[in-house]
Each structure stands twice: as structure tokens, then as C-alpha cells.
Amino acid sequence: MQYRELKVPGAFEITPKQFGDPRGVFLEWFKAPAFAEAVGHPLDLAQANCSVSAAGVVRGIHFADVPPGQAKYVTCAKGAVLDVVVDVRVGSPTFGQWDSVLLDDVDRRAIYLGEGLGHAFMALEDDSTVLYLCSTGYNPGGEHGINPLDPAVGLQWPTTDRHGNRITPLLSDKDTAAPSLSEAAAQGLLPTYEAVQDYVASLRR
């Protein structure tokens, strides 16, 4: 299992070692000791989520209040998604920047997004199935969104699916109505870099 930190600090791409034979494939998609060594603290599992999306569906950009925030360890069990992490931490050296990882049922990578980071993905195939391990449970009062088509963020969503068919972003009403990054900042919705750093430090202790 290989960990690579993305250009947004606090986010990692995880590539597992796969063992295949005529029966199929086996892999470890999460391993606590390897995670703690790479990230610097354990992942407290509070909730596991599953979403199934048609090609072109975009979910996000979602983030949560810190503390406690909601860290996510995400993989795609079926199909393919472009998974995106956005730095929404006010005061961060990489504020407003983003990075992405292709999650699919071929390389079977995962992505970890630490507390205070924004998360979104686009499905690149019908019935793409995404699994999330979450550090905290659902908290509607503490969870927020940014419009994933905000030109100031500039996410580069694919225009074709996994099979070369043209796709356009399909958003929920909630994500369509979400504020831009600058509007979310003006409304005081975004976590601060200092608060996130303090909270992550407490996990390491």
C-alpha cells in the first residue's frame, strides 16, 4: 500500500497492492497501521457511507465545521469517478487550490481527505459506487457546500465518461444553490487553517 500526499496538504492518494488469480482479485483497501504511519494519527471510524451515481453526476463540494470536521477515506468499488479535494481552509498557504485522483475498479485507489478540506467527485460511468469511511457521523447543522462549478475554484470536470461518451455535470438542487467560495468565506462558513491545525494536532496527541 503506497501513500502519496497530494498538492493540498492533508490529502493523500492511496494505491493498494492487488493479488489476482483466476478466481478474481483481493486487496486491502484500508489498513490502520499504514494509515497512521503515513498521516500521523489514526482514523476514528464513526460512519461508513455508500453512494451510487449515474455518469455525469457531481456530488460536492462538501465540507464540515472544524472542530470536529469530517475526515473521509474514499474508494470506488464499481465504475469510476474523478475525486477532487479542495483547500477551503481560510489562511492556508494553498487556500483555493485543488487536486484530483481517479478512483476506479481497475487500480482500486483510495483518497484520504483530512478535516477541513472540501470534497467532490464526478461519476464517469453509470452505477459508479463510492464507499466512504468517515471520522464523524452525519451532522446537518455543521455541514456545508460550495458550488462545484464555481469558476473561481476552476475545477476541471471531464467532458466524456469512461467509454468516451459526452457528459455534462448533473448536480443536486442543494449543490446547485450552494454559494461560491468567496460567498462562503464572506458568510463565515469556511474553517480556518489555524483551527484545523490545532484539531489535527490534538489527534496526534
**Residues in CB range of 41: below 8 A, 6 or more apart:** 200, 203, 204
Phi, psi of 122 (to 5 degrees): -120, 130
- 204 strand-pairing partners: none
Sign of CA dihedral 150, 5, 163, 172: negative
Please check whether residue 7 is in contact with residue 15, taking contact to mean a CB–CB distance below 8 angstroms: no
Q: What are phi and psi of 182, to 5 degrees?
A: -70, -35
Q: Return all residues near 140 (Cβ < 8 A) that are at least 6 apart.
A: none
Selecting among 62, 73, 112, 144, the annotated active-site residue is: 62
Answer yes or no: 132 catalytic. Answer: yes
Which among 3, 41, 132, 199 is annotated as catalytic? Answer: 132
Q: Which residues are catalytic?
A: 62, 132
